[in-house]
Amino acid sequence: MIKLALAAALLAAVSFNAAAQYPNKPIRIIVPYQAGGTSEVMARAVGDQLTAAWKQPVVIENRPGGGTTIGATVVAQAPADGHTLFVNASSFLINAQLMSKLPYDFQKDFVPVTLAASNPHVLVVFPGLGVSNLRDFLAMAKAKGKSMSYASFGNGSSGHLAFELFKKQYGFDMVHVPYKGVPQAMTDVMGGQVHAMLTDLLAAVPLVKSGKLTGLALAADRRTPTLPDLPTFEEASGTKFVSRSWFGILARSGTPPEVLRMLNTEIVKALHKQEVKDRLASLGMDTYGNSPDEFAAFMRGESERFADAIKFSGTKIE
């Protein structure tokens, strides 16, 4: 018992000492996507607030590729001192279910800090399809079945698996056409090569407003000010359906508990700043900021949803 007490005291002392010195060098936030996306905007908004609070530079590093595995590997191999953080999203959880060999253990090499923000999905369709509401779209999809198709921004992406859950919940079938990114997929929906797509609100807004795409429903609990006339799935059909792209912050496993507490406190504080909320809201994003335990529970729920979609669709990485 005495040895255990001494070990606990030593661990507490190490954690306290690490926190007293933290941060003592620039903080890196690894964004596993191309520059200019919503995840980077969120990371920069948080980083600006951390720089002001801690008087240490916060450097945003874009490390795209490998379906986010390249960026995740950078963090998994970094020192566990809280100076290297990772912006994770749904693909981080999906990869763990679809990829048999990852260069890291997604459960053992990372610890949650907080859920940061989310961007609801919008159901958009080719304007020439001749439907203007969700009920008519569902009637057409059930009647025509696999003669209709939907696009996604990648096989195994959140947009792909969300549409599979949409199909399952509403009882229809369509052919999946995967693309290498949002722009190409949306271009083909606009041109009628494919008929529909669930995409991020940010990408949908200008095209829906210009009439290049027809927006049918928002996969969220409530309407958005950026497209105030667009109903939610529940309003449009009587059945609730929620789907989104989301972003959270992870740290390296083994980071001292007191450092994790400091990170959570300051990042949540940053996300609750009105200027940050306004900046992200202008992109159609909702901000969160919760505890590590709450974020962990959220990710468990998302993993279960994706597992359900993968099983239903038979999705495999090609």
144 or 155, higher pLDDT: 144
Residue 12 in this model has a pLDDT that exceeds 60: no
267 or 245, higher pLDDT: 267
Read off the pLDDT of residues 216-255 as tens digits, 9 standing for 90 and up.
999 999 999 889 999 999 999 999 999 999 999 999 999 9
**DSSP string over 156-174:** TSHHHHHHHHHHHHHT---
Name the nearest CA neighbour of 79 among 1, 157, 27: 27
Read off the pLDDT of residues 77-89 as tens digits, 9 standing for 90 and up.
999 999 999 999 9
pLDDT band at 150 (very low <50, low <70, confident <90, very high): very high
pLDDT band at 67 (very low <50, low <70, confident <90, very high): confident
Q: Determine the CATH number of domain 120-237.
A: 3.40.190.10
pLDDT at 153: 86
pTM for the complete prediction?
0.86
Name the nearest CA neighbour of 121 among 243, 228, 271, 230: 243
- Residue 152 near residue 184 (C-beta atoms within 8 A): no
The DSSP secondary-structure symbol of 232 reads: B
Residue 121 in this model has a pLDDT that exceeds 60: yes
Name the nearest CA neighbour of 84 among 37, 39, 40, 23: 23
pLDDT band at 183 (very low <50, low <70, confident <90, very high): confident
Average pLDDT, rounded, for the chain: 92
Q: Determine the CATH number of domain 2-118+245-313.
A: 3.40.190.150
Q: Which region, left, alpha or beta, applies to residue 11 given φ > 0 means left and ψ of -120 to 50 means alpha?
A: alpha
Q: Where in the chain is the domain with CATH 3.40.190.150?
A: 2-118+245-313
pLDDT at 38: 85
The average pLDDT across 150-178 equals 94
pLDDT at 11: 52
Residue 135 in this model has a pLDDT that exceeds 70: yes
pLDDT at 5: 54
pLDDT at 14: 53
Q: Where in the chain is the domain with CATH 3.40.190.10?
A: 120-237
